[in-house]
Chains A and B, each alone.
Chain A
Amino acid sequence: MVDVRRRVTRSAEDVVVDVVIYTVMALICFSMLYPFWNSVVLSFNDGSDAIAGGITFWPRQFSLENYAYVFRDPRLARAYGVTIFRTLLGTPLTIIVTSTFAFGLTKRNLIGRRYYMWAAVFTLYFGGGLIPFFLVVRGLGLLDTIWVYLFVIGGSAALLNVFHMIIFRSFFMSIPQSLEDSARIDGAGYYTIFYRIIVPVSTPVFATLTLFNAVNHWNAWFDGAIFITRSNLVPLQTLLRQILNSNAVDELMGELGGTAAEELARSAITTQTLSMATMVFATVPILLVYPFLQRFFVHGLLIGSLKE
């Protein structure tokens, strides 16, 4: 028997092409990773020194001052808690609402199906603006409460994300009807069908959109800025932005000192390095979560390639 799996011979051309491809890929990866690495490096660098420019792969004048400035704020722990709370609770909530809404819309015998779809898609194109949005949230009594992060349809971390809903719906519609029909024959109702058949089959989509929503919740700052006034319920990103802004005044104050002050330490904390430090501080946790969900993405890429 001829061994079919014999090694494919590689010509010189193959090798050259490989080298080129690898090089190009490496360069592209580097160009994406380097800016982030540079930001991390800058965040650990003394501020006044950083202004001179020229800092590339390693801090030139190591300093933890920028992080110290961030950590000084006692409200930080609470803000972190708020963000974790809204991410842990808000993400599943959004996923459940969005996916069930999408599932409902796949059923042709749903009354008003067209209307719901139209209403949802309409909001993708048109919005009322900030003031009407604010008035609705106020009318719902959500101002200054932690629930404003979870139960608002709008903004970056919406309870019903129309875009995701459309993705869910498309995917659900691609699931063979026969699966559902056989479950129906066995006496399953809609809930059972959804949770026991549809969801397990759609894991890639669920995982992907869960991550998207989690990231949205993690990064959201605008709702915290606008809807929270009196209570101490701002999320992490909002607080970090605030800290960054107020550094400008501190720089002015520090300027009042005398000559020796200048020589000793032109401020180690400048807006540039401080913003790097806040960015690293805010991004690292979500970066750490990402690898665990990595495997779902690979599967997710195979969406559409499954045939009956």
Chain B
Amino acid sequence: MRKLLIVFMVLVVSAFTFAGGSPAEESTSATDEEFVLGETPLTFSFFDVSDVFAGHDYGVDYQGEAWIKENLLVDMELIGSGGAAEQKFSTMIIDGDLPDRLSINRNQLPQLVEAGLVVPLDDYLEGSYFLESMGTGAIDMLRSEDGKLYQYPQWMITRESGNGNGGWLIQKSIHDALGNPPVETFDQLYDYLNLVSREYPDMIPLAVTQNFTGGYVIFTGFAEDMLYDYIASFKAIPEGDELTSIFKSDVFEEALLYTARLFREGLIDPDSFTINRSQDLERLPDVAVVASNNIAMRGRETRGVLQQEDPSNDWIPIWPIRKEGLDPDRVFPNSYNTLGGRINVISSSAENPEGVFRFMDWLFSPYGALVNWFGPPGLYWEDGDFTPEGYPVNFSEDWFSDPADVIRFVGTNRTGIGNTALVDGMSEYFYSIDPSFVNWTKNTQITVAWQTSKDRTEFTNVIPATDSDEGIIFQEIEDIFDEMYSRAMFASSDAEVLSILADADSEADDAGFDQLLDYMTEIWQRDKERLEDL
């Protein structure tokens, strides 16, 4: 009886296994006719791994989208995941049925290429804005292992200066009350912070904001051409043509000692490692100096509170604080990548890959950027007359006076592609016509943040893929660094900081940092050459 039962169970289980269904059919993607954007209707599905694009139906709330739907005959089916984007992405890969267009992180691309789930874009490059603006050198940097191009970066920059949001803020009324002392070098900063803590014991002298990003900003001020990413991402600093361990760097040692000293003496907000976003913002009005990788957002959100108490108070963005004797124009708390961070890919189950590519290309073009960000023509700007960079000559000043809750529905919500140069350029264009046209955030960016941002494109591919050998070492190095950094802050003397640093250094060496650095250097040099070949 028992044996019969077992046999029966096995049969039932196997029946379910085999009923599991066959793998999804590969759909052929053949378009017979020539595709022309604006004449051939196009519908495709779009999924985004950061899950920010599927909140509303396409073309319903946003005027830019309605215009695109009507004039370009493009409709998007937005696939959302309600917060479970990474898992949904995994299940879609397993299913083999990906939406036509995807926005993913660069390190997710290799697995898609391997599985044959994405379409190469080489055939469509001819005559595209993409090729024209970025050039073959940059595009070569984006090619995958098999030599083909699969990605269309989300945000690219086609001009000399980049974007950025980080730097330093000073609370105006406190600074004025203390007699406007200069705060340009680290020594002056130290004096100012001590002055604040004496005169205003209830205030926090320096806030480094959530995740201690301000500490990294401090680091960038200790030598010329120090990128934020050296400390925040790579944990490596170039010396000559090689990337070397940050633990061995003199510049980093100096910065670490300085930051730890500020922390030890109570001049930095002691909760900086553990606060979340709302706590961070809530305490800002009680802070005299802010260092952060996003002062633009923080200033914008908290100015109102400052001005509620004292209408003449404000956040003043100051030029990055630096070590004595450095060239102020070569201190960079910000960096930008002309090739953007995340990428778009077209899946092999798309019916009309060329159509999707042409549409993305259009979004990247100057005209597309205008519709995306500033709404359809006729609303806030007139078609027809453009400056050489592509900005409209005739625009309505209502743009500057209409409330933010109207502006947010003017363009589109579903960009996922853009040329930062055009968007930021528009703001600078407005600023050049009349500085008062631009709001505080843009003002901060234009006058300080964007000017203190350095190109880091050559480092685009330097971080290894997570599942490779180097990737595993990299994660270890990150952990060693994070632990070292927080311990150093809580150390009780300079000597202790140095010994913590030395320990981390040998730990990193043991973990194989040299091997990782060789790999990173190789990639860096290879891409640097490609960019120069442009």
| Partner-B contacts on A (CB < 8 A) | 48-49, 51-53, 65, 72-75, 111-112, 115, 130-131, 134-136, 138-141, 143, 221-222, 224-226, 229-230, 234, 237-251, 253-262, 264-270, 272
Smallest CB gap from B430: residue in A: A258
CB distance from B303 to the nearest CB of A (A): 8
Chain B residues 109-134 with CB under 8 Å of chain A are none
25 contacts between A and B (CB under 8 A): A51-B305, A52-B282, A52-B305, A72-B56, A73-B56, A131-B90, A140-B19, A143-B95, A226-B91, A229-B97, A230-B77, A234-B80, A237-B82, A242-B55, A245-B52, A245-B80, A249-B52, A251-B408, A256-B373, A256-B442, A257-B404, A258-B439, A261-B400, A266-B404, A267-B404
**Nearest CB of A to B341, in Å:** 15
- Chain B min CB distance to A13 (Å): 45
Q: Which residues of chain B in 306-324 are interfacial with respect to chain A, using CB atoms and an 8 Å cutoff? A: 308
Could you tell me if A272 and B278 are in contact, using CB atoms closer than 8 angstroms? yes
| Assembly CA distance A49 to B374 (angstroms) | 27
Interchain CB contact under 8 A, A245 and B301: no
Q: Which residues of chain B have C-beta atoms less than 8 A from A237's C-beta?
A: 82
Given contacts A250-B408, A253-B413, A254-B405, whether A229 and B281 have CB atoms under 8 Å apart is no
Partner of B55, one of A74, A246, A259: A246
What's the minimum C-beta distance from B7 to chain A, rounded to whole angstroms? 12
B87 interface contact, C-beta 8 A:
yes
Residue among A65, A74, A246 having the largest count of chain B Cβ atoms under 10 Å: A246
| Closest beta carbon of chain B to A255's beta carbon, Å | 6
In the bound complex, how far is the Cα of B88 from the Cα of A238, in angstroms? 13
Give the contacting residue for A130; candidates B91, B427, B440; CB below 8 A.
Answer: B91
Given contacts A241-B83, A243-B55, 17 further A-B contacts (CB under 8 A): A52-B282, A52-B308, A115-B5, A139-B19, A226-B91, A234-B82, A241-B82, A242-B80, A242-B82, A249-B52, A249-B415, A255-B404, A257-B439, A258-B439, A260-B400, A262-B440, A267-B408
B389 proximity list for chain A (CB < 8 A): none
| A51-B407 contact given A226-B84, A230-B77, A246-B54, CB 8 Å threshold | no
* CB-based contact A258/B20 at 8 Å: no
Query: 8 smallest A-B Cβ distances: which pairs?
Result: A258-B400, A246-B55, A238-B82, A254-B408, A139-B20, A260-B401, A254-B404, A225-B82
Q: Is the CB of B55 within 8 A of A53?
A: no
A226-B81 in contact given A246-B56, A259-B438, A265-B405 (Cβ < 8 Å): yes
Q: Tell me if B405 and A247 are in contact (CB < 8 A).
A: no
Q: Are A73 and B403 in contact (CB under 8 A)?
A: no
B281 near A51: Cβ-Cβ < 8 Å: yes
**Given A242-B55, A246-B413, A249-B413, A115 contacting B407 (CB threshold 8 A):** no
Residue from A48, A222, A247, A256 within 8 A of B407 (CB atoms): A256
CB-CB nearest in chain A for B441: A255
Q: Does B402 contact A (CB under 8 A)?
A: yes
Is B94 an interface residue when CB atoms closer than 8 A count as contact? yes
B502 to chain A, nearest CB (A): 42
| Chain A residue at minimum C-beta to C-beta distance from B24 | A138
Q: A52–B282 Cα gap in the complex (Å)?
A: 6
Please report the total number of B residues contacting A with Cβ < 8 Å.
69
Q: Is there contact, CB below 8 Å, between B408 and A253?
A: yes
The reply on B79 being an interface residue by CB < 8 A is yes
CB distance from A254 to the nearest CB of B (A): 4
Name the contact of B53 in the complex, choosing from A134, A238, A249 (C-beta under 8 A): A249
Closest approach, in angstroms, between the C-beta of B291 and any C-beta of chain A? Answer: 20
Is B57's CB within 8 Å of the partner chain A?
yes
Contact B438 A258 (CB under 8 A): yes
Interface string of B50-89 (1 = CB under 8 A from A): 0111111100110000000000000001011111100110
Q: Which residues of A contact B441 (CB under 8 A)?
A: 255
Contacts of A234 in B (CB 8 A): 80, 82
Which residues of A are found within 8 Å of B181, using beta-carbon distances?
A: none
Contact of B404 (CB < 8 Å), options: A75, A131, A143, A261: A261
A265 and B404 contacting across the interface, CB-CB below 8 Å: yes
Cα distance A266–B19 in the bound complex, in angstroms: 56
Q: Taking CB as reference atom, which chain B residue is nearest A255? A: B441
Is B359 an interface position by the 8 A CB rule? no
CA distance A225 to B92 in the complex (A): 12
Q: Are B55 and A245 in contact (CB under 8 A)?
A: yes
| B282 contacts A53, C-beta separation under 8 Å | yes
Q: Compute how far the CA of A306 lies from the CA of B19 in the bound complex, rounded to whole angstroms.
A: 48
Specify which chain A residues have a CB less than 8 angstroms from the CB of B302 in the assembled complex.
51-52
Within 8 Å of chain A (Cβ to Cβ): is B190? no
Q: What 0/1 readout, one digit per residue, does chain B (7-48) give for beta carbons within 8 Å of chain A?
A: 001000000100111000000000000000000000001000
Q: How far is the CB of A249 from chain B (nearest CB, A)?
A: 5
How distant is the Cα of A254 from the Cα of B56 in the complex, in angstroms?
16
Judge whether A138 and B21 touch: CB under 8 Å: yes
Distance of A263 from chain B, by nearest CB (Å): 9
Which residues from chain A contact B79 at a C-beta distance below 8 Å? 229-230
B390 to chain A, nearest CB (A): 16
Instruction: Find the A residue at minimum CB distance from B435.
Output: A259
In the complex, how many angstroms separate the beta carbon of B405 from the nearest chain A beta carbon? 6
For chain B residues 200-222, which have a beta carbon within 8 Å of chain A? none
B53 contacts A48, C-beta separation under 8 Å = no
Q: Is the CB of B413 within 8 A of A250?
A: yes
Residues of B within 8 A of A225 (CB): 80-84, 87-88
Complex Cα gap A241–B82 (Å): 5
State the Cβ distance, B352 to closest chain A Cβ, in Å. 17
B300: Cβ under 8 A from any A Cβ: yes
Whether, in the assembled complex, B353 has its beta carbon less than 8 Å from a beta carbon of chain A, the answer is no
Question: Is the Cβ of A74 less than 8 Å from the Cβ of B401?
Answer: no
Of the residues A138, A239, A260, A268, contact of B95 by C-beta under 8 Å: A138
CB–CB A111/B82 < 8 A:
no
Nearest CB on B from A62, distance (A): 16
